[in-house]
Amino acid sequence: MPLRPDLIEILRDEKAPIVILTGAGISKESGLHTFRDADGIWAKYDISEVATPEAFIANPDLVHHFYNDRRAGLHDPNVQPNAAHVALARLEAEWPGDVLLVTQNIDDLHGRAGSKNLIHMHGELLKIRCNHCDLLTEWPGDLAKETPCPACGKAGGLRPHVVWFGEMPLEMERIYAALGDCGLFISIGTSGNVYPAAGFVQVAHEEAGAETVELNLEPSSGATLFDHSTYGPATELVPAFVATLLEDGSGPRD
């Protein structure tokens, strides 16, 4: 495993805060397509046509069609939280210190698995917001430019609650504060190509002196920045790593 037993014991005894970053690789084993693989979503769609504010202005019908398809895929009964999602929820429940899970994914699998201290830095597919009145609400079904806002009644302003290219990721102040105070940073299923998330490992290392771990199918673009690394399927690596962190048998936190 990535960390020595004595180091794990120190982290546990100190109730070291943990920050976890997850990317598309953790949800791929639940049946969701990644964006950046050779056969991923961006190989089939032009980013500039479906994932920018300018695209939404130019062709809202196409943008809504794209995200309606993504929502429908998430409702597939075969798409369920996998062992890696469940293990991270267990870590949050049983680790003696704080655990913050930051995901780049817009699916709801972490929440369904039981994670509660969770930041969706790139937004959430099953929520929408209104450009007219700033409403933010759950929205499991299809959306169209003609759909009236349930709050202000105006049409044309509802959009997916998703961070598009050129927009600022969500809750960055809270994320950086946690990175600057953590004792352990874990990156799971990420490409290491997308900033600012790709720079989190450096913040955790330089500002907090944290131990940094990469659990990935293969080395990410930033693999050399991590202190420890292990490669393989997330459904195998993450439950095993969590079990090692919690091997003293401690129960839920008070």
Distance CA 172, CA 212 (A): 19
List b or e across 19-42, with b for residues whose CB sees 16 or more CB atoms inside 10 angstroms.
bbbbbbbbbbbbebbbbeeeeebe
| Residue 194 CB burial class (10 angstroms; 0-12, 13-18, ≥19) | middle
Looking at this protein, which amino acid is placed at residue 212? T
- All residues at 6 or more sequence positions from 171 whose CB lies less than 8 Å from its CB, including other chains: 119, 121
Tokens of 187: 């990156």
Please identify which of the residues 64, 85, 120, 122 carries the catalytic annotation.
122
* Catalytic-residue membership of 205: no
Distance CA 15, CA 4 (A): 17
Handedness of CA 117, 70, 197, 187 (dihedral sign): positive
Q: Answer for the pair 183, 100: CB distance below 8 angstroms, yes or no.
A: no
Q: Which residues are catalytic?
A: 122
